[in-house]
Amino acid sequence: MFLRNCWYVSALAPEVTRFEPLARRLLDEPVVLFRTHDGAVAALEDRCPHRFAPLSMGRMGRDTIACGYHGMEFDRRGRCVANPTQPGETIAPHACVRSYPVCERHGLIWFWPGDPALADEAAIPDYWYYDHADWDTDLQYMHVAGNYLLLLDNLFDLSHINFIHGDVLGSSDRASDMIHNTKSTDRGIVDQWLSPASPLVPGWAAIVNDDWAQGDIDFWMDMHWEAGSNMMLDVGVMPVNGERSRGLQIMSLDGLTPETATSTHYFYGTAQSYRRNDRSILAFWAKAQTYAFLQDKRMIEAVQASMGERWDILAMNPVINKGDRAALQARRILAKLIREEEATPAAA
Ligand code: FES
Ligand SMILES: [Fe+2]
């Protein structure tokens, strides 16, 4: 059901501490995340091998987590290093829990649910602006009670901004004017939207008051996707037929991590370098982004509710619009990768 040999976002970096374990269901598996005393992150199966108590109900040691039921202690590799109710006895070899490869990057904790031998950190999507001194950045989290591919559909078919977000980001009377183009990239797909020569919509007018933006502007949105389900939106406004570098560019991050078949951990963020020391741009945009994503969440949860327990909308014969092109392409690529992976026993 899910692609396993790829990186997913499991948490915002500050959510994972050495003081309190974080329980999070990822790809329908219970996982506990914590840090050891040196700040290294661990991700373990959240199920003690003794009586299956969630380890996340236990307590943190210097470099271990101790089960809250009978005290067995596990290190960051998932090995049991102490069993206090059995003094003097050898610890059974199967007294261990699965540990997952993790990597802290771009302010996020990345998680690899597949074959540990294949976990290559070079495959983590490059959200470079989160590590660049010239960019102001922000990261947030939202839970969505809908299949993660419904979020992918939503992010790719940006014609929806003129309807769901018509009050801040779009306008329904310009929906048919948008120029739309889908391309393959070396790591996935980019879907490009351009709304040419039109006045700023309210959300942008609040942060761009430069001379060039007083009349019509060009508005672009490039949505990038990499398998499994990490996306990046390059969005901005610029002088008509001008250079993007002369406009205001916002880079966004969207990490869609399946919680279950019908729910998603949505990690998102925004970054700007237009006026480096003007925190008001990022503050406004981050607020607008959350406002808009709450509108999306409401719609996606209603869509999932109308699908019931079913998670694959394509199996339900939906009508396909032109705006669905990129999402369909991504879903096809993903389905093929999952089929290939499931046909390779070592990968699961
Ligand atoms: S259930 Fe964990 S030590 Fe008994
Ligand atoms: Fe949206």
Q: pLDDT tens digits for 2-57?
A: 999 999 999 999 999 999 999 999 999 999 999 999 999 999 999 999 999 999 99
Pairing assessment for the beta strands 108-111 and 179-184 based on DSSP bridges: unpaired
Residue to mutate (ligand 1; options 45, 50, 56, 91; most atoms within 8 A of CB): 50
Question: Percent of the chain at pLDDT above 70?
Answer: 96
CA-58 nearest atom, ligand 1: 2
The average confidence (pLDDT) of the chain is 93
CA-68 nearest atom, ligand 1: 2
206 — pLDDT class (breaks 50, 70, 90) = confident
Q: How far is the CA of 165 from the centre of ligand 2 (A)?
A: 7
Looking at residue 171, its pLDDT comes to 58
Cβ contacts of 226 within 8 Å, gap of 6 or more: 125, 187, 188
Helix (H) or strand (E) holding 108: strand 108-111
Looking at residue 346, its pLDDT comes to 62
Q: What protein residues have CB closer than 5 angstroms to ion ligand 2?
A: 296
Looking at residue 348, its pLDDT comes to 47
The rounded distance, in Å, linking the Cα atoms of 201 and 234 is 17
Tokens of 291: 């406002």
Residue to mutate (ligand 1; options 69, 73, 80, 97; most atoms within 8 A of CB): 69
The rounded distance, in Å, linking the Cα atoms of 44 and 201 is 46
Q: Name the closest ligand to CA 51.
A: 1
Give CA separation, 135 vs 129, 208, 280, 281, 311, in Å: 6, 17, 13, 11, 37
CA-67 nearest atom, ligand 1: 2
Within the chain, all domains assigned CATH 3.90.380.10 are found at 128-342
128-342 CATH choice from 3.40.30.10, 3.60.15.10, 3.30.428.10, 3.90.380.10: 3.90.380.10
Over residues 162-168, the mean pLDDT reads: 82
The rounded distance, in Å, linking the Cα atoms of 208 and 200 is 9
Over residues 240-248, the mean pLDDT reads: 90
Q: What is the CATH number of domain 8-123?
A: 2.102.10.10
Looking at residue 169, its pLDDT comes to 67
The rounded distance, in Å, linking the Cα atoms of 181 and 45 is 42
Query: What ipTM goes with this model?
Result: 0.97
Q: How far is the CA of 31 from the centre of ligand 2 (A)?
A: 29
The rounded distance, in Å, linking the Cα atoms of 265 and 259 is 6
Question: How many residues are listed for the chain in this entry?
Answer: 348
Residues within a 6 A CB radius of ligand 1: 48, 50-51, 53, 67, 69-72
Within the chain, all domains assigned CATH 2.102.10.10 are found at 8-123
Q: Do residues 63 and 47 make contact, with C-beta atoms less than 8 angstroms apart?
A: no
**Which string of DSSP letters, residue by residue, matches 294-337?**
HHHHHHHHHHHHHHTT---GGGG-----GGGHHHHHHHHHHHHH
48-85 confidence digits (pLDDT tens): 999 999 999 999 999 999 999 999 999 999 999 999 99
Count CB neighbours of 88 within 10 A: 4
312-336 confidence digits (pLDDT tens): 999 999 999 988 999 999 999 999 9
CA-51 nearest atom, ligand 1: 1
Q: 3-state class of 3 per DSSP?
A: coil
